Protein backbone atom coordinates (compact mmCIF):
# COMPACT_ATOMS: atom_id res chain seq x y z
CA UNK A 1 0.00 0.00 0.00
CA UNK A 2 1.53 3.37 -0.97
CA UNK A 3 2.59 5.73 1.76
CA UNK A 4 -0.37 8.10 1.86
CA UNK A 5 -3.30 5.75 1.45
CA UNK A 6 -3.28 4.30 4.97
CA UNK A 7 -3.11 7.84 6.33
CA UNK A 8 -6.00 8.82 4.05
CA UNK A 9 -8.19 6.03 5.42
CA UNK A 10 -7.47 7.14 8.98
CA UNK A 11 -8.13 10.76 8.01
CA UNK A 12 -11.53 9.82 6.58
CA UNK A 13 -12.50 8.34 9.95
CA UNK A 14 -11.27 11.47 11.76
CA UNK A 15 -13.20 13.67 9.30
CA UNK A 16 -16.40 11.79 10.05
CA UNK A 17 -15.84 12.30 13.78
CA UNK A 18 -14.99 15.96 13.12
CA UNK A 19 -18.23 16.51 11.23
CA UNK A 20 -20.21 15.01 14.11
CA UNK A 21 -18.43 17.31 16.58
CA UNK A 22 -19.02 20.34 14.33
CA UNK A 23 -22.75 19.67 14.06
CA UNK A 24 -23.11 19.06 17.81
CA UNK A 25 -21.11 22.14 18.84
CA UNK A 26 -22.97 25.16 20.10
CA UNK A 27 -21.62 28.58 19.22
CA UNK A 28 -20.48 29.32 22.77
CA UNK A 29 -18.84 25.93 23.44
CA UNK A 30 -15.20 26.99 23.43
CA UNK A 31 -13.77 23.59 24.36
CA UNK A 32 -15.16 21.86 21.28
CA UNK A 33 -14.12 24.79 19.09
CA UNK A 34 -10.54 24.39 20.31
CA UNK A 35 -10.68 20.65 19.55
CA UNK A 36 -11.90 21.44 16.03
CA UNK A 37 -9.08 23.97 15.59
CA UNK A 38 -6.56 21.36 16.72
CA UNK A 39 -7.81 18.78 14.23
CA UNK A 40 -7.81 21.34 11.42
CA UNK A 41 -4.26 22.32 12.39
CA UNK A 42 -3.15 18.71 12.23
CA UNK A 43 -4.73 18.35 8.76
CA UNK A 44 -2.90 21.49 7.66
CA UNK A 45 0.42 20.14 8.93
CA UNK A 46 -0.01 16.57 7.63
CA UNK A 47 -1.20 17.43 4.15
CA UNK A 48 1.24 20.33 3.95
CA UNK A 49 4.00 17.74 4.29
CA UNK A 50 2.39 15.63 1.57
CA UNK A 51 2.12 18.64 -0.76
CA UNK A 52 5.58 20.04 -0.08
CA UNK A 53 7.31 16.65 -0.22
CA UNK A 54 5.80 16.15 -3.66
CA UNK A 55 3.96 12.92 -2.96
CA UNK A 56 2.76 12.58 -6.52
CA UNK A 57 0.08 9.96 -6.89
CA UNK A 58 -3.54 9.85 -7.95
CA UNK A 59 -4.62 11.68 -4.80
CA UNK A 60 -2.17 14.63 -5.05
CA UNK A 61 -4.86 17.14 -6.00
CA UNK A 62 -6.99 15.87 -3.12
CA UNK A 63 -4.02 16.47 -0.78
CA UNK A 64 -3.65 19.97 -2.18
CA UNK A 65 -7.36 20.69 -1.69
CA UNK A 66 -7.33 19.42 1.90
CA UNK A 67 -4.21 21.48 2.61
CA UNK A 68 -5.79 24.64 1.20
CA UNK A 69 -9.18 24.12 2.86
CA UNK A 70 -7.64 23.39 6.24
CA UNK A 71 -5.53 26.56 6.03
CA UNK A 72 -8.50 28.78 5.22
CA UNK A 73 -10.66 26.98 7.79
CA UNK A 74 -8.06 27.75 10.45
CA UNK A 75 -7.96 31.42 9.43
CA UNK A 76 -11.76 31.73 9.39
CA UNK A 77 -12.16 29.87 12.69
CA UNK A 78 -9.53 31.93 14.48
CA UNK A 79 -11.04 35.13 13.13
CA UNK A 80 -14.51 34.14 14.33
CA UNK A 81 -13.51 33.38 17.93
CA UNK A 82 -15.14 35.85 20.24
CA UNK A 83 -12.70 37.78 22.41
CA UNK A 84 -14.85 37.65 25.53
CA UNK A 85 -15.17 33.86 25.38
CA UNK A 86 -11.40 33.45 25.09
CA UNK A 87 -10.79 35.82 28.02
CA UNK A 88 -12.97 33.75 30.35
CA UNK A 89 -10.81 30.65 29.89
CA UNK A 90 -8.80 30.05 33.05
CA UNK A 91 -5.84 27.79 33.73
CA UNK A 92 -5.83 25.28 36.53
CA UNK A 93 -4.59 26.79 39.81
CA UNK A 94 -1.38 24.75 39.62
CA UNK A 95 -0.56 26.31 36.22
CA UNK A 96 -1.54 29.92 36.84
CA UNK A 97 1.88 31.09 38.11
CA UNK A 98 3.77 29.72 35.11
CA UNK A 99 2.79 32.58 32.79
CA UNK A 100 3.72 35.17 35.38
CA UNK A 101 7.08 33.50 36.01
CA UNK A 102 7.81 33.32 32.28
CA UNK A 103 6.98 37.01 31.93
CA UNK A 104 9.41 37.86 34.74
CA UNK A 105 6.78 38.60 37.36
CA UNK A 106 7.70 35.74 39.67
CA UNK A 107 5.40 33.03 40.94
Mean pLDDT of 34-45: 83
Mean pLDDT of the chain: 74
Q: In which band, very low, low, confident or very high, does the pLDDT at 107 lie, cut at 50, 70 and 90?
A: very low
In the chain, which ranges are continuous DSSP H helix? 3-24, 30-52, 60-80, 83-87, 96-102
pLDDT of residue 87: 60
Residue ranges making up the domain that contains 76: 3-102
pLDDT of residue 2: 57
Mean pLDDT of 39-63: 81
Supply the pTM of this predicted model. Answer: 0.62
Look at residue 71 and tell me whether its pLDDT is greater than 70.
Answer: yes
Domain assignment present for residue 84? The answer is yes
Domain assignment present for residue 107? The answer is no
What is the number of domains present in the chain?
Answer: 1
CA geometry: angle 86, 24, 8, nearest 5 deg? 95
Look at residue 40 and tell me whether its pLDDT is greater than 80.
Answer: yes
Other Cβ atoms within 10 Å of 7 Cβ, number: 15
Domain assignment present for residue 71? The answer is yes
17 three-state secondary structure: helix
pLDDT of residue 82: 67
Amino acid sequence: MPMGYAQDLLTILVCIALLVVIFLTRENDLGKQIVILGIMGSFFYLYGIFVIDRVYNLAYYLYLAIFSLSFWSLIASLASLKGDSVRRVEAQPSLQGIGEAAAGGGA
